[in-house]
Structure 1
Amino acid sequence: MAQLITLDSLLAPGSAEATPAGGCASSACGSSAGPADLPPEVWEKVKDHPCYAEEAHHYFARMHVAVAPACNIQCHYCNRKYDCANESRPGVVSERLTPEQALRKVVAVASEVPQLSVLGIAGPGDAVYDWRHTKATFDQVREAIPDLRLCLSTNGLALPDHVDEIAAMGIDHVTITINMVDPEIGAKIYPWIFFNHQRLTGIEASRVLHERQMLGLDMLVARGVLVKVNSVMIPGINDEHLVEVNRVVTAKGAFLHNVMPLISDPAHGTHFGLTGQRGPSAAELKALQDKLQGGAKLMRHCRQCRADAVGLLGEDRGQEFTLDRLPEEVSYDPAQRSAYRAFVAETRGEHAAHREAAQEEVAAVEAPSVLVAVATKGGGRINQHFGHANEFLVFEVSSAGITFTGHRRVEKYCQGGWGEDATLDSVIAALEGVSCVLVAKIGDCPKQSLAEAGIEAVQDHAYDWIESGIAAWYAARHATAVRRIA
């Protein structure tokens, strides 16, 4: 979706690209809290982390390095693949790196991508089980680029053994994948675990995994480490149970809960994919997320990244930074990143003012809530051609406000300047339930097809802030319902 762009183009006044990279808005996308809503020490930890703060993912990028291939559990939804550039899902990488190779790659990316703020290790196995490689990588990167945030993802089985080291190293963001708090449900998800030099199966395996996950979560929270809990929504297995998972992890102090849809394409070779287990629809995922409101803050902008992802959420520039493409000598100059951060600090104020004005505008409209899709390639702007979109961001708008609800992935409609009818049909299917799609530009043919499907395509708000465009469209659509305010 989004394209990382240079600081010069970001600063160019009036440019269609003259906005910081990002692309989401409103209250339910990650933690929507700002500096006035959080303790200063917590705000400092999340303000530039694109996964932990909704606002941050407008502006900042993440990078994963694939240094931890070993894993200690088997999940029915996982099949790790190496040397695969065509699949975008967790556990997939094109290169497995040594810590030294990872450092070289991180320095090269930091020099080219001023938006980079976070280095994460998410496998392709388990970052904590493969602790030797994870620790060596973080130690070297911390010395070379001390201003990068460090975070890791884990299944939690080995986590309690390394919490003290994690805290001592300054790793203040940890993601734990917790799909159950009932071992009987866990036995349907995990065929085995490897613990204390033994392979355990069935309910016993799930019981041990659950106990270790809860212990690790408690230990991290006690040490002030922010914990994001990932849960994979598996219809018919744990979808209803995730309400209880949310209750438990919220009570234990998890900072964020990210409910992700199961990816179950048979081509990926996972057990669930090969046995016909379906993933949830977009409507089912939203309904569950809505049910969880009031518990831990929800992350709705997750893209289920590869273990070697580079760039903004919603994009992956990893193939630009494979080892064979890196310069022989790499060095890090922090000047460009410092200038970018100063620019972001200024831009955040402008965006916040427009967001607040948009919320006030829709509050004056008495009309039903609707879903609006937006084509964007960054910066929180409506700045992408309909046919160029790989995904659309979806917002719910009503008098209660404008809320980001998720994204809908699609196959790009325009291929070499031409559109394909079958592709357009799939895009329309992906936009089920959406009343309007806001774009920078759209052709007459797809616009008419969308209209026939009951979806209004609007390009009148091209390059506006997303919230401003949504508010203007909503108010115009319901002009007769605007309250008369003395």
Structure 2
Amino acid sequence: MNNSTNALLELNDPLEHISNQHPCFGKGPNLNKGRIHLPVSPSCNIQCAFCNRTRNKEERRPGVTSEILTPVEATEILDKALELCPEITVAGIAGPGDTLASDYAIETFKLIKEKHPELINCLSTNGLLLEKRAEELIEAGVKTVTVTVNAVDPEVLKHICLWIVKDGITYTGVEGARILIDAQLRGIKKIKELGAMVKVNTVLCPGINDDHIEEVAKTVSELGADYMNIIPLIPTHKLAHLKEPDCMMLHEARTKAEKYIRVFKHCQRCRADAAGIPGKVEIADQLYDLKKLNARNTFSHG
């Protein structure tokens, strides 16, 4: 297929364009494109049983960063990253807390839209406030959204999401799980209607949601989600006693999901301050002065 044909396909199919530019929305390691995660969101409005947000330079997993940036600092880091790695096509915000629990992510995207309109602005969220803030995201230039949906049955999710805070009230158990699921599904539907590409992340937790993946895939597909990314649990925090899913369990989950939705299979489980080409070139160590940081300064879960 020649370049002109590719260009025509991208023009007629926005998903094709995104998959050719976004390393986490399509061709994975076959795509020589980069991304940067800008850690501007410190707090979260839910508590997942596997989540331990922290500051250090050793761990390679979501929820970990070397430092928290202000929106202005984030744009300065982005400029430096583009100098070091011109292949970066995506400016993402993936924590370490939830990106919609504060205003910092949207403020950062507005600055990036003005300074680097050529980049794909990408946001990851738990979805609790996605419906409420969907228009703001589109206005700020966000083109791709990842929503973490670990279950669509409250009886399953109550074992993964320990509590949520909405409108200043804390909800736990089935009640909290039901509120979160309803918010996520409404949010996915709305952001899709507004024109964003949507990927759903699901953390595969053995013995909890491994038999529920097909139902998640079916549900989010019906709402218009474009991709699903099934992420093997990293046993930590309240789920430290579980085993990480093996290759067979992961394969079976992906096979079931693929009956309903495209499945992204190349996730690197990146840190909240990752930068570079996933699996090939990482430049985060060149962007931050790691020596000045406390290696284990844990965030508040407020």
What is the TM-score normalised by the length of structure 1?
Answer: 0.56
Give the match's secondary structure for 2:229: strand
- Residue 63, structure 1, aligned to residue 36, structure 2: yes
- Residue 300, structure 1, aligned to residue 265, structure 2: yes
1:432 maps to which residue? none
- Residue 191, structure 1, aligned to residue 156, structure 2: no
2:45 maps to which residue? 72
1:187–1:277 Cα change, 3 Å? same
Q: CA deviation at 1:44?
A: 2.9
1:255-404 aligned within 5 A: 255-264=226-235, 268=236, 270-273=237-240, 276-315=241-280, 316-323=282-289
Cα displacement string for residues 183-239 of structure 1 (whole angstroms, at most 9, x for unaligned residues): 011111111100111011110000000000010011011112110000000111000
Q: Does the 8 Å CA contact 1:48/1:56 hold for their aligned counterparts? A: no
2:296 maps to which residue? none
1:394 maps to which residue? none
| Rounded Cα–Cα distance in structure 2 between residues aligned with 1:297 and 1:42 | 11
Identity fraction in percent:
36
Q: Does the 8 Å CA contact 2:213/2:256 hold for their aligned counterparts? A: no
1:76-91 aligned within 5 A: 76-82=49-55, 84-91=56-63
Q: Does the 8 Å CA contact 1:217/1:254 hold for their aligned counterparts? A: yes
> Which of 110, 115, 133 is equivalent to 1:162?
133
- Residue 207, structure 1, aligned to residue 178, structure 2: yes
Give the match's secondary structure for 2:161: coil
Q: Does the 8 Å CA contact 2:204/2:232 hold for their aligned counterparts? A: yes
Structure with max Cα Rg: 1
| Rounded Cα–Cα distance in structure 2 between residues aligned with 1:220 and 1:55 | 24
1:331 maps to which residue? none
Query: Alignment RMSD, CA only?
Result: 1.9
Give the match's secondary structure for 1:172: strand
1:144–1:234 Cα change, 3 Å? same
| Rounded Cα–Cα distance in structure 1 between residues aligned with 2:143 and 2:163 | 30
Give the match's secondary structure for 2:142: coil
| Rounded Cα–Cα distance in structure 2 between residues aligned with 1:247 and 1:293 | 9
| Rounded Cα–Cα distance in structure 2 between residues aligned with 1:60 and 1:324 | 25
| Rounded Cα–Cα distance in structure 2 between residues aligned with 1:251 and 1:185 | 20
Q: Does the 8 Å CA contact 1:49/1:117 hold for their aligned counterparts? A: yes
Q: CA deviation at 1:142?
A: 1.8
> Which of 184, 200, 207 is equivalent to 1:236?
207
| Rounded Cα–Cα distance in structure 2 between residues aligned with 1:140 and 1:180 | 34
> Which of 120, 123, 130 is equivalent to 2:95?
123
1:101–1:244 Cα change, 3 Å? same
Q: Does the 8 Å CA contact 1:51/1:57 hold for their aligned counterparts? A: no
Give the number of aligned pairs: 285
2:191 maps to which residue? 220
Q: CA deviation at 1:170?
A: 2.3
Q: CA deviation at 1:46?
A: 3.2
1:174 maps to which residue? 145
1:100 maps to which residue? 72
Structure 1: unaligned runs, 5 residues or longer: 1-32, 326-486
Give the match's secondary structure for 1:53: coil
Output the amino acid matched with 1:62.
Answer: R
| Rounded Cα–Cα distance in structure 1 between residues aligned with 2:139 and 2:79 | 23
Q: Does the 8 Å CA contact 1:103/1:140 hold for their aligned counterparts? A: yes
Q: Does the 8 Å CA contact 1:57/1:312 hold for their aligned counterparts? A: no
1:34–1:185 Cα change, 3 Å? farther
1:336 maps to which residue? none
Moved over 6 A (4+): none
Output the amino acid matched with 1:191.
Answer: L
1:319–1:70 Cα change, 3 Å? same
Q: CA deviation at 1:137?
A: 1.0
Give the match's secondary structure for 1:162: helix
1:37–1:99 Cα change, 3 Å? closer
1:430-445 aligned within 5 A: none
Q: CA deviation at 1:45?
A: 3.3
| Rounded Cα–Cα distance in structure 2 between residues aligned with 1:173 and 1:129 | 18
| Rounded Cα–Cα distance in structure 1 between residues aligned with 2:154 and 2:18 | 33
Q: CA deviation at 1:138?
A: 1.1
